[in-house]
Structure 1
Amino acid sequence: MPGAESSGSPSDATTGMRTNAGVIQMTNGQQYTAPAEGFPRPQCVESALRNTTDRNRADWAEVKDPKGFVRVYRAKYSANARDTVSKLTYVIPKLVDTPKVIISPPTAREELNERLPAPWNFLISGINPAALKKLIDQGWWSTPTITFYVFDYNVPLPRYIMTLQNLCTPSDPEACKAVARLVKDKLKSIKEASEFLAKHSAASDAKEAEGALDIIEAKPLEIALPGGETDLLWNIYFTPPKSIDFFRLLEWTTAARDLTYDTALHGTGVPRVGSDQFFCQGCKGYDHPSGLCPLPRITGWFGAPLQSVSADDKTLGKADERNERKDKMSKGGKGPKAGGNGSRNVNNRNSRRR
């Protein structure tokens, strides 16, 4: 994903032979995609336990380490997850050195009227620590049987802050620096912005919290609009203090999205929020629409092909359509506009954090 760290690529010497098509052929016959530069990490800005029951959360909290989360590409909730569990328990021991693995499906708190409703994440446990670490280090595992993402039970902090629109700038390196400086100067001008990060971080991370706003990254994102036009947006990232709580970080990014970012010559940057906030149906990242997910473009990808992903998001510019009614979609109803400001409250989805 734009601006995200890439995961490590496994060693060919210990896993098999890399083919010209970007695929590892293991000695046991198992194949999986292994790009030399690693996979991009999805910038997920919501709870890994979204829409799970209280009992489900309590039960999983009691499971002993090592444990983590796993979800498939283009995940959606199903009360009967036997097929997914069977595929994961079959493939994972063939990919990493573990005699067994336990895959536990989530239980939904309520039925969500969304295209690919949550909960999406399964619990992975009963696995040796080295095997789980290898799964997490690579992140995405794309095989002919199933494509899935593994991440730590202590959910990694997202680097993504927001996506800005309405800035009339080019997309060259100098513009990247200028947009990053614009956001940095605005946030640093608000005393509470840096104080919040320091207040909710461990004392040992004090310097990291104080300097977090000095290293803002801005990356251009060009999207297609209806009628053949395009628009240039800006994804904004930073490295949050390691010890800050996940939900405290979401509070901070929500506040950052409630601001506007004024320039003297290039207009006013406005964060995309509410129904205009991007949400990828494939990787569940927030910094691009489904049609611009980078994963299907990776050589050797076994998951959903680019054609089907693009067909799901024909303009490549549609935002989060999760709350669009299923019956409206089945009748060909239009999704949210790609260019408007939408709601100024990024938390307008009540189930986002549950």
Structure 2
Amino acid sequence: MSAAGNPAPRQYEEVSSPKFFLVVSGGNGAVMRTHGLIREAIANYINIDPTTFTLGTPPTAANGSSPTLWLAADIPDPLAQGIVDARILSSTNTTLYTLPYNMPVIGFVGVFAGFTLPNTAMGANTARDLIGTTVQANNEISQFVQTHHDAFGPQVSSGEAWGAFLASITVHGIVLIVNDTNTVAWRLHVTPPTNNRDSWSQLRRLFGKLQIMTALYGTARLQRAFKCRICPSIDHPTPLCPLPDLPGWLGPTPATIAALEDASRAAASKAQEQMRLNTADGAGGSNARPGAGRGQGSFDGKARRGGKAKRGGDFKGKGKRRERDDFL
């Protein structure tokens, strides 16, 4: 599973460690309710008072579907590390995904589609060889990797870094439903040559320019990255999320995530309308918190309790709902 790594908001830099991020599945529109659910889930997992740690409130998502990062701090180091190592805290009311504060660059490049190869080990090997040969012959990618190879260490030469990068290319098949037809695509992973996020994004854009033309297996190009609405991954669409198939899973599923997001959108709309009314009523002497509703977020140590998230609904996952970000 490849998580989407986002840079930390500036206001979080001054918060002392240990600290880590949480992604809340199903949308974050009901801020007060989400605060309570997060505190309850963490307190139950490590058996502490839910009022003793601090939560950062991210900006309210207008559409209720954005996997916004919540910052958790003021938890003793061993307990904080235990939460991060757990990765997933799932309950009937919410599902939390833990991410380290300094998230590493993940080597997922994207999904190549267009080859007429079977979803077998032989098909994966052929796809890897076709992609690897094209990458090796691409001067832009070669020069970029040989220039930006800090992740391999100072003792590794440009040529050695390039060789290690090519050797790290792996692909895994995934079956997508496009126009009601099963289509095999290939998820491409490499060892990131750089730890710099901006450089990594530039390298992925270079991969996005590739067009792999073959006489036997068709023509393939890198597709837009996915954005799973159940977990914070970008290497699969929502209907193919593997987490709901785990034994004992209590979190959202492809059939229920839409209803959770609808409830979150409604809560976000209500919260924004209330903020607008508060701002209008308090003009000239408002007690409203600065930055609320303007993409700033806040960091607040006060515990908040809330109700249960709404569940139910339906989801049609056959490629008809756009849930991917532009690759280029």
TM-score (norm 1): 0.68
Cα 1:319–1:250 shift into 2, 3 Å? farther
Cα 1:239–1:318 shift into 2, 3 Å? farther
Q: Is 1:61–2:21 an aligned residue pair?
A: no
Contact 1:69 1:122 in 2 (8 A): yes
Q: Deviation string for 1:63-103 (max 9, x for gaps)? A: 111111101123x343x511111121222133126563211
Q: Is 1:193–2:141 an aligned residue pair?
A: yes
Tell me which residue corresponds to 2:101: 153
Cα deviation for residue 222 of structure 1 reads 0.9
Tell me which residue corresponds to 2:206: 255
Tell me which residue corresponds to 2:316: 314
Structure 2 distance, partners of 1:237, 1:322, is 18
Tell me which residue corresponds to 1:43: 3
Cα 1:266–1:194 shift into 2, 3 Å? same
Tell me which residue corresponds to 2:172: 219
Percent identity over the alignment?
Answer: 22
Contact 1:279 1:319 in 2 (8 A): no
In structure 2, what residue type is equivalent to 1:261? I
- Is the partner of 1:307 in helix, strand or coil? coil
Q: What is the aligned counterpart of 2:53 among 101, 105, 108?
A: 101
Structure 2 distance, partners of 1:155, 1:318, is 32
Tell me which residue corresponds to 1:295: 243
Structure 2 distance, partners of 1:194, 1:116, is 38
The count of aligned residue pairs is 267
Cα 1:304–1:169 shift into 2, 3 Å? same
Structure 2 distance, partners of 1:219, 1:66, is 35
- Is the partner of 2:13 in helix, strand or coil? helix
Gaps of 5+ in 2: 259-312
Cα 1:153–1:267 shift into 2, 3 Å? same
Q: Relative contact order, CA 8 A, sep 6+: which one is greater?
A: 2
Structure 1 distance, partners of 2:32, 2:87, is 23
Cα deviation for residue 135 of structure 1 reads 1.6
TM-score (norm 2): 0.73
Structure 2 distance, partners of 1:102, 1:139, is 19
Structure 2 distance, partners of 1:152, 1:170, is 37
- Is the partner of 2:119 in helix, strand or coil? coil
Cα 1:250–1:318 shift into 2, 3 Å? farther
Structure 2 distance, partners of 1:194, 1:312, is 46
Q: What is the aligned counterpart of 1:245 among 164, 186, 196?
A: 196
Tell me which residue corresponds to 1:229: 181
Structure 2 distance, partners of 1:309, 1:224, is 19
Contact 1:136 1:151 in 2 (8 A): yes
Gaps of 5+ in 1: 5-41, 50-56, 324-344, 348-354
Q: Is 1:346–2:299 an aligned residue pair?
A: no
In structure 1, what residue type is equivalent to 2:39? T
Structure 2 distance, partners of 1:218, 1:290, is 20
Cα 1:209–1:317 shift into 2, 3 Å? farther
Q: What is the aligned counterpart of 1:81 among 13, 16, 31?
A: 31
